[in-house]
Amino acid sequence: MSKFEQQRRDKRRQMQDLGVDPYGGRYEETESASSVRARYIENQEGQKARCAGRIVLLRDIGKLIFITLRDFSGTIQLGLSVKLLEKQWDLIKRLELGDLIGAEGQMGRTKTGELTIWTEKLTVLSKALLPPPEKFHGLADVDMRYRQRYVDLWANPEVMERFLARSAMLSSIRSFLRNRDFVEVETPMMQAIAGGAAARPFITHHNTLDMDLYLRIAPELFLKRLLVGGMEKVFEINRNFRNEGLSTRHNPEFTMMELYQAYADYHDMMELTESLVCHLIQTHCQGTILPFGSMQIDYSRPWRRVRYADLLKEFAGCDIDDLSAVRAKARQLAIPEADIDDAVVINDVFEATVEMNLINPTFVMDYPAALCPLTRQSAADPRYAERFELFVGTMELANAYTELNDPDIQEANFRRQLRGQKAEDSMAKMDEDFITALKYGMPPAGGLGIGIDRLIMLLTGVTSIRDVILFPLLKPVSSTSGPDDLSKQAQSDS
RNA sequence: GGAGGCGUAGCUCAGCAGGUAGAGCAACGGCCUUUUAAGCCGUAGGUCCUGGGUUCGAGUCCCAGCGCCUUCACCA
């Protein structure tokens, strides 16, 4: 135990010796700091206030102590004087940074104009045994900020603000969709077949059934079953899990919003996406040009809509139908192309040349059909699929299709994708029951997926996904506290 | 997995041509009834990430490992 903790434990002992419970109890009828500030009427005597929060600054001037109290809403200053608190003074002298307290008294201003609660009664609500981070710089160590987010949140107010913004944005997404008559549902996260996307899944095990299960990589196939079942507008906002590398744009578990709208197509999904994101910006952001890293992203409508093939022409300089030109470009970029499928080579070239240039919101339309096993082919030109991806700030933010609802084509696509691939790496999984569902008839539909974490990054202007996920995945500091040891413990217990 | 960077007091950070380990905040003792990162005087505080090596001597140089960051690879 650190000497700091020991000192604080001593202080707690001293509080208890004074007959004070260092962990308080119910402390209701309080008011938020911001509310106190808002309702204060200048120069009017007799206004009372009662607040609770954490001591984030403490200035002891002898017989007078100023405390800056932080609660969920902001901060408020307490003035503690011997004159008003003589009976509690021994206790008050033992207050420290980080302690949670409640205070009530008359409101007033100090000489310097700071609104202050001249405290008449003080209640200790929780004694902090560990010292807070440095008061001016806050908690700066990136590793500790993620590992001890509970400290980061109150030591760095902008972190709290960002996560509150995330929460508010999520609420807005839900109300936006509810206003368009979408129904929110929850589908399985533990699946026997991890389908609906191309990604390596996490594997887990059910003991009683003695079967392996996958954590889902996408909810797509279940949401489409709901279309078969008669839900015409459904959405789900929940976690997907992908067993892949970590980066500033990838966390192994991430939040995806997927929605499906019967009788619609990918053009409707474009309209919906643009409306939704612009609604969020209007509601939660300042202006329509938002900073993202070194970029300034202009969200003014309408957003650019451009065909995949046209972008390939624009940035790679080759015609999508001129495969020898595309392959030459690939070689020039040191992208492997020998014995690799045409569509894959085209897409590798696309990713290497186009995506980095897509800063302002851009709908990339009409992907090569071979890349899109779950998408309906274009009636006009079956080499292309009615699919778009939305890029913003060079990131893929959304992905949408006109959904494929022909069970025979769907089954053929699955089989083609499965051929020659390891099961866990395949682009598509054979899900017999999903095919069965389609045979009962799925309405034509538009489907859309939006990466919520990335959306929040863009709207809050942070370039690392870890800054919009409360508890991002990190390696454990000590190997003695991982799940391995817990399971060993459990085994030795039984 | 590759490359680069970082890891020093509770926190934020200095320290490098290898030569007794530093500051601010926090803490501890003292003074102070209007402070705003309060101020003043004093005190204490270290596995310099871990383990090896080179050296008379390593926070500093070398090797290995651990963790984090960035980037590349992987990745609809």
User: B40 C1' – A60 CA distance, angstroms?
Assistant: 13
A79: nearest nucleotide, CA–C1' criterion: B34
The Cα–Cα gap between A134 and A116 comes to 24
Q: What is the ipTM of this complex?
A: 0.90
Instruction: Using the structure, give the distance in angstroms from the CA atom of A57 to the C1' atom of B70, rounded to a whole number.
Output: 34
d(CA A9, CA A130): 9
**How far apart, in whole angstroms, are the C-alpha atoms of residue A400 and residue A260?**
10
Q: How many angstroms is C1' of B55 away from CA of A344? A: 57
Which nucleotide's C1' sits nearest to the alpha carbon of A84?
B33
Report CA(A443)–C1'(B68) in Å, whole number: 49
Stated in angstroms, how far is A380 CA from B76 C1'? 23
With beta carbons less than 8 A apart as the criterion, state whether A23 and A126 touch: yes
Q: Which nucleotide is nearest to A373 (CA to C1')?
A: B76
Whole-number distance in Å between A156 CA and B30 C1': 33
Q: Which nucleotide's C1' is closest to A140 (Cα)? A: B12
Select from A447, A381, A436, A378 the least CA-distant residue to A410: A436
Q: What is the pLDDT of residue A489?
A: 31
The H or E element that residue A270 is part of is helix A266-284
Whole-model pTM: value is 0.91
Tell me the two tokens of residue A295: 């970029």
Through-space separation of residue A113 CA and nucleotide B39 C1' in angstroms: 19
Q: Name the residue with the least CA to C1' distance from nucleotide B40.
A: A61
Q: How far is the CA of A117 from the C1' of B9 (A)?
A: 36
Closest nucleotide to A56 by C1' from CA: B37
Among A223, A159, A180, residue whose Cα is nearest residue A471 = A159
- Are the beta carbons of A437 and A420 closer than 8 angstroms? no
Report pLDDT for A94. 94
Q: Which nucleotide is nearest to A335 (CA to C1')?
A: B73
The CA–C1' separation of A3 and B9, in angstroms, is 12
* Strand B positions within 7 A of protein Cβ atoms: 1, 10-13, 24-28, 31-39, 45, 66-76
**Burial of A248 from C-beta contacts in 10 A (0-12 / 13-18 / 19+):** middle
Angle at A461 between CA A460 and CA A462, to 5 degrees: 100
Name the residue closest to the C1' of B37 by its CA: A136
Residue A216: closest CA among A190, A197, A186? A190
As beta bridge partners, residue A115 has: A109
List of chain A residues with pLDDT < 50: 423-424, 426-427, 479-494
A5 CA, B51 C1': Å apart: 30
C1’ B3 / CA A30, Å: 55
* Environment class of A474 (CB within 10 Å of its CB; exposed 0-12, middle 13-18, buried 19+): exposed
pLDDT at A38: 96
The nucleotide whose C1' lies nearest the CA of A77 is B36
Q: Which residue has the tokens 């959304």?
A: A398
As a whole number of Å, the end-to-end CA separation of chain A is: 32
Task: Give the C-alpha separation, A369 to A486, whole Å.
Answer: 47
CA of A170 to C1' of B54 (A): 58
Residue nearest to nucleotide B73 (CA to C1'): A245
Please give the nucleotide, over all strands, whose C1' is closest to the CA of residue A130.
Answer: B10
A249 nearest nt, CA–C1': B75
Across A287-408, the runs of DSSP E, i.e. the strands, are 289-292, 295-298, 304-307, 362-368, 384-392, 395-402
How far, in Å, is the CA of A102 from the C1' of nucleotide B28? 27
What is the predicted pLDDT for the residue at A462? Answer: 94
Q: What is the DSSP letter of A403?
A: B
Alpha-carbon gap, residue A360 to A306, rounded angstroms: 12
| Cα–Cα dist A368/A309, whole Å | 9
Contacts of A212 (CB under 8 A, 6+ apart): A203, A204, A205, A206
Which residue minimizes Cα–C1' distance to B12?
A137
Q: Which nucleotide is nearest to A371 (CA to C1')?
A: B76
Q: How far is CA A368 from CA A315, A320, A377, in A?
A: 17, 9, 9
Residue A393 burial class via C-beta count within 10 angstroms: exposed 0-12, middle 13-18, buried 19 and up: buried
Q: Where are the alpha helices (DSSP H) in A385-451?
A: 407-418, 432-439
**Cα–Cα distance list, A97 to A49, A67, A129, A444 (Å):** 22, 9, 10, 61
